[in-house]
Structure 1
Amino acid sequence: MVVKAKASEGNIRQKNKAVIFNAAKKEFVTYGFKGASIKRIAERANIARANIHYYFQDKTDLYQQLLSNIISVWNRDYDTLSVDKTPKQALSDYIRAKVMHSKDDPDSSRIFASELIHGAPVLNDYLYGGFGTWLQSQVDVINAWIEQGLIDKVNPHHLLFLIWSSTQHYADFNVQVVAALDKEAMSDEDFEDVVTSLTQIILKGCGID
């Protein structure tokens, strides 16, 4: 009974924090970190302000935990580069995952981009710590493909930078994209076209048919 009770409490905590995170994303994207308000986040989440302070010490703590959550989700969902997969399948899966995150959760990408544009004051330790370890694991996979003659000799870092920038463009610069396409919003078909186009361009650039 105690174990079940603890599990139930854990699930409630996760659900409540998810609601707060979703509201916080909208607030930080709209007003930036400095302009964001715990009061408005509570209103967006339709919960009492005290409930936010139950889970987070202050706005800075909420922002830090939100960024950590975004990175955790990305590292989990983008873990597609593996020597157990062919380069074609692994890179195709990676590109699709990145594009679909830009479609389904653009605010996360915009918050992350804003943090980096402002010098990564919160993420600096991560960028020079855990991020480097994760990135090296991806670089090692690409180098293994190159050594096996499965892809052309490309710079692994710049290949990854290209994928990140091209896929996240549709979240971070969506206003420009829809204006260029003369649309009010991108459709599901538009995002599928993005996946197809980027996959073709990037795979061919790596020498993959």
Structure 2
Amino acid sequence: MPQAPAAQAGRKPSRIQLRNRKRILEAALEVFSTHGYRGATLDQIAAEAGLSKPNILYYFDGKEEIHVTLLNQLLDAWLAPLHAIDPAGDPLDEILTYVRRKLAMSRDLPRESRLFANEILQGAPRMGPHLESVLKPLVDQTSMIIQGWIAAGRLSPVDPRHLLFSIWATTQHYADFEAQVGVLMGEVDVHAGASAHLEAMFGRLLRPNAAMG
């Protein structure tokens, strides 16, 4: 029976152990984003990583632990742009910067976006507690910031939560439906066009004089 990794035994993991763990997570990201949680197997992850299945189980208890580890890492990255919204900044600049950051994540992290989308589509069986304890307080806080800007006349009236949902939906579409977007858009720079379109759309929606045309 293999011994537990050094990190589990209270010792600092070696460079080889850190490298193999990263290798496994990278392979698992590819497998989960392609096949979803239910369709993914440890054999597929092992093959993608170029390691044996027992080697995978040396570092992780099983498929679920690998998946939860990836989701936890993803949630930290996913929430960083929301944390970066500055209550003291210019409201429209802050929102449009957030849109740009979310679109850049769709461009740079499409597999991570699909991993998260698959988890939510399944009812968030592994992420449910994190959505309640981590995401909801942050969205509540951000909504209060946006509502304060609206009350001060610095943004047009919108529902802050529906605004965030709209930003998530429009930016993450370019990752979650990447194959369809690629076929329909051809060889053009999709994300440059998307950025210009989304900034214009949300800018018109949120500028205080938008209702005046």
Deviation readout 1:32-51 (Å, 9 max, x if unpaired): 21221212212212234334
How many pairs were matched up? 200
- Tell me whether 1:21 sits opposite 2:9 in the alignment: no
Which consecutive unaligned segments of at least 5 residues does structure 2 have? 1-9
TM-score (norm 1): 0.85
Equivalent of residue 152 in structure 2, options 124, 148, 160? 148
Change (3 A) 1:39 1:80: same
Letter in 1 for 2:42: I
Letter in 2 for 1:179: V
Q: Is the 8 A contact 1:42 1:49 kept in 2?
A: yes
Deviation readout 1:74-122 (Å, 9 max, x if unpaired): 1124423221221122112211111111111111111111111111111
Paired residue for 2:193? 193
Paired residue for 2:162? 158
- Please, what is the CA RMSD of the aligned residues? 2.3
Bigger radius of gyration:
2
Which consecutive unaligned segments of at least 5 residues does structure 1 have? 1-5
Q: Is the 8 A contact 2:150 2:156 kept in 1?
A: yes
Taking only the aligned residue pairs, the percentage that are identical comes to 30
Paired residue for 1:49? 53
Q: Is the 8 A contact 1:83 1:144 kept in 2?
A: no
Give matches, 1:115-130, under 5 Å.
115-130=119-134
Q: Aligned equivalents of 2:100 and 2:11: distance in 1?
A: 34
Q: Aligned equivalents of 2:95 and 2:131: distance in 1?
A: 23
Q: Is the 8 A contact 1:88 1:208 kept in 2?
A: no
Q: Which runs of 4+ in 1 moved over 6 A?
A: none
